[in-house]
Chains A and B, each alone.
Chain A
Amino acid sequence: MNHDNYDDDYIRGILNGVKSIAMVGASPVNVRPSYFAFKYLAQRGYDMIPVNPGQVGKSLLDKPFVASLRDIGRPVDMIDIFRNSSHIMPVVEEALRLDPLPKVIWMQLGGRDDAAAARAEAAGIKVVMNRCPKIEYGRLSSEISWMGVNSRTLSSKRAPVPTQGMRLSLNRQSLGGGETAASDRATKNKTDPA
């Protein structure tokens, strides 16, 4: 699996397939990126579960925080890890002890741990690293185009007007994957140990 650049079909399959998402490191502070992503994904109809041991007893958008993945107490489709790269492995190890296993482990923008990814993939779990599901959902649905962002998708079909809680179609024509050639090169230069 190439984790530098993902085919849109891979991301599309994940976002179309999962229903419940546990977000590890979700913050109740409304200027943190995790709060943005949590709120957006909830608005797009995902069953969101906030995981943060420091916030137990509180809620995020009416969803009660749980301390750890094993405290969720029901199967989850995807684990979205909002932690720095150095904190990813223990979360993946915990995810691998869940029964049933999650279908997807997603590491946020800036987050990457290839060893953890390999262990998850060996257990049959799909992995995405260094991406944001909010940005990818907005991109594939073209909702992000309101911000002048290059969605790298095209469609000649009329889309419905999005409303609260509505899942959007992600099946537009893709233009060669999410990263532009230049931004992809820049990411590689940054992550290469050179």
Chain B
Amino acid sequence: MNDRLPGFATLAVHAGAQPDPTTGARATPIYQTTSFVFNDADHAASLFGLQAFGNIYTRIGNPTQAVLEERIAALEGGTAALAVASGHAAQVVVLQQLLMPGDEFIAARKLYGGSINQFTHAFKSFGWNVVWADPDDVDSFERALTPRTKAIFIESIANPAGSITDIEAIAAVARTAGVPLIVDNTLATPYLIRPIDHGADIVVHSLTKFLGGHGNSLGGVIVDAGTFDWSKDNKYPMLSEPRPEYHGIRIQETFGNFAFAIACRVLGLRDLGPAISPFNAFMILTGIETLPLRMARHCENAKAVAEYLAGHPAVAAVNYSGLAGNPYNNLARKYAPKGAGAVFTFSLKGGYEAGVNLVSNLKLFSHLANVGDTRSLVIHPASTTHSQLDDAAKVKSGAAPDVVRLSIGIEDKEDLIADLEQALGA
């Protein structure tokens, strides 16, 4: 018997990839092509009818993208995945399979500011209504349930303050309610947290962040855990009902435990169109090969910087769940024992003004709106990523006006601390 589960680092390098059948190329080639020839009319019809495995057109799938998809599915412990153009695109495609106009989904209030914006405003015009709950109060999810609730959405490590969500407790609410739990695992990556192991039914990522890891390519991904029964109670007609665009195929019946990923591809991506470019898929795939090495270093550096800041006289508070005494430290030990991630916030005694000064005085940290880069990054969320929120909502989401957010890179930690030292003293 040769059934043996390789370790995470082996999967990060190998899963999904094999030498190219035509050329023997060992690195996954960039299949920079829009379309793929059919063998004959029957082959074409089989592919269009979803009867055969293969490639048609890069808006539906591409061989470079497919390697990326299988690799992330393997790392997350899912049955299948679909890569798309961005993390935002992943969220649209997921919810399009689950919600009809007038339906609701419950979302944790602590989210990436762009997600709060997308859920509040963009989705309103689709008739998808977000109901907010407090990730620190599991009962608030239960209270938010109605007969129209179709999904629950949380972040595993929540932006911007790096707080840890009790995934298992919220998964239990979702299971009782008969709705899928969607977990945005961007800030943790499967190296730190595998939400499917804790009860998630669907995992989404912005690949742009730690998975790609180099701040050079946009991408998003949807991972199907293969755990949810879509046929129950006819609540999810996109999966359980005959699809007219495929002559009456029922997606769940045909594709079993990877039906959700297939629905996202053939109903969502095909018709909404947010395909990932093959080049970006290649860049992200290359990044993932070093994910375990980078994440270990990101976390080691983040802890050192957080400890330094916690001891600095100009700093009012550091919100890093990896620090003893942080309110999320117990959850961090449970869910992310290898490290509490590398994105966190802190506040300065000098308030808003001091935060703005710090950002302008830093010489190594880059002031920009991204996280999960090899480079260390800094931003003032209240005036940027969370600027569209009113002051009360800013405080609730962890982006109060005096808060500065850091994304710690993989440089030498002594150099990062020296840069903060000179900027805080300036």
Interface range, A side: 35 or more
Q: Which of A33-41, A88-96, A115-123 faces chain B?
A: A33-41
Q: Which of A66-74, A98-106, A140-148 contacts B (4 or more CB under 8 A)?
A: A140-148
Task: Verify B225–A182 contact, CB threshold 8 A.
Answer: yes
Question: Assuming the A-B contacts A9-B2, A150-B73, A158-B24, are A31 and B258 also in contact, with contact meaning beta carbons closer than 8 angstroms in the complex?
Answer: no
Q: Which residues of A contact B54 (CB under 8 A)?
A: 146
Measured CB to CB, the nearest residue on chain A to B247 is A31
Tell me, rounded to whole Å, the shortest Cβ–Cβ distance linking A83 to chain B: 14
Tell whether B117 is near chain A: CB-to-CB under 8 Å.
Answer: no
Contact assessment for B49 and A181 in the assembled complex, using a CB-CB cutoff below 8 Å: no
Q: Which listed residue, A144, A158, A190, touches B20 by the CB 8 Å rule?
A: A158
Contacts of B67 in A (CB 8 A): 145
**What sequence of 0s and 1s flags, for each residue 22-61 of chain B, a beta carbon within 8 Å of any chain A beta carbon?**
1010000000000000010001001001111111000001
- In the complex formed, the residue of A with least CB distance to B261 is A148
Assuming A157-B19, A186-B226, is B256 touching A135 (CB within 8 A)? Answer: yes
- The verdict on A149 contacting B51 (CB below 8 Å), with A161-B22, A176-B4, A183-B227 known, is no
Distance in Å from the Cβ of A100 to the closest Cβ of chain B?
29
Number of residues in B with C-beta < 8 Å to the partner? 62
A158–B18 touching, CB < 8 Å = yes
Give the residues in chain B near A182, CB-CB below 8 Å: 77-78, 196-197, 225-227
* Residue from A33, A35, A182 whose CB has the most chain B CB atoms within 10 Å: A182
Residues of B within 8 A of A186 (CB): 225-229, 257
Whether B51 lies near A180 (C-beta < 8 A) is no
Interface residue? B66 (CB, 8 A)? yes
Cα A143 to Cα B55 with chains together (Å):
11
Q: Does B400 contact A (CB under 8 A)?
A: no
Given A143-B53, A144-B53, A145-B16: A175 touches B73 (CB 8 Å cut-off): no
Partner of A150, one of B21, B43, B78: B78
The answer to whether A59 has its CB under 8 Å from any CB of chain B is no
Contacts of A149 in B (CB 8 A): 70, 73, 79-80, 258, 261
Q: Is B3 located at the chain interface by the 8 A CB criterion?
A: yes
Report the bound CA distance from A39 to B74 in whole Å.
28
* Cα–Cα, bound, A151→B73 (Å): 9
A175-193: contact bitstring with B at CB < 8 Å (1 yes, 0 no)? 1110111110111001000
**Complex interface: chain A residues within 8 A of B70 (CB):** 145, 148-151
Known: A39-B46, A155-B18. Contact between A180 and B253, CB under 8 A?
Answer: no
Which residue of B has the minimal Cβ distance to A37? B51
Q: Find chain B residues with CB under 8 A from A159 CB.
A: 18-19, 21
| Cβ-closest 8 pairs across A and B | A148-B69, A183-B226, A150-B73, A186-B227, A158-B19, A176-B5, A149-B80, A183-B257
Give residues in A with beta carbon < 8 Å to B: 7-9, 30-31, 33, 35-36, 39-40, 43, 109-110, 132, 135, 138, 142-152, 154-161, 163-164, 173-177, 179-183, 185-187, 190
Additional A-B contacts beyond A149-B73, A158-B19 (12; CB < 8 A)? A30-B49, A31-B249, A33-B254, A132-B256, A148-B83, A149-B79, A151-B70, A155-B18, A158-B24, A179-B257, A182-B197, A182-B227
